[in-house]
Amino acid sequence: LARLPAVEMDTLQTVRQLSLSTFTDPTRNKSGGPTWSSPSLLMLLEMAEQGFGWGILPRWLVEQFGHDVLQELPVAGWPQRIDVDVLWSNKTPPGPAGRWMIDQLRAQS
């Protein structure tokens, strides 16, 4: 897949997808083809590095814990941005870590 100039969804369906299994939506990120799942992103990273398939992984995870083995696939519509809402109580405003997160999210919007 990494050698292709562009990767189509039909092509991805022929290769095993490595997906995160969650309690809220166990069918999330299913490509329609063969799938292996794990409750751990680190385990998915490890399986991808071992060549067991492709998966949707956060860039920060690959950069921090990857071993320069993985390559981002050129798939139309990816990467996808995820909308995030931040809420807090006026009675208990965010501390330093919370303020930092809010500042980081504002800087990327």
What radius of gyration, in Å, describes the C-alpha atoms of the chain? 17
Backbone angles phi, psi at 7, to 5 degrees: -115, 125
DSSP 8-state class, residue 79: S
pLDDT of 29 above 60? no
Establish if 3 belongs to a structural domain.
no
Q: Among candidates 69, 74, 63, 80, which has minimal Cα distance to 1?
A: 74
pLDDT given for residue 95 in this prediction: 95
> pTM value?
0.73
Number of domains in the chain: 1
Establish if 44 belongs to a structural domain.
yes
Which single residue is written with the structure tokens 């991808």?
Answer: 48
Establish if 55 belongs to a structural domain.
yes
Establish if 2 belongs to a structural domain.
no
Establish if 32 belongs to a structural domain.
yes
Percentage, residues of the chain above pLDDT 70? 91
Residue 81 exposed, middle or buried by CB count within 10 Å (0-12, 13-18, 19+)? exposed
| Residue-number span of the structural domain to which 60 is assigned | 9-80
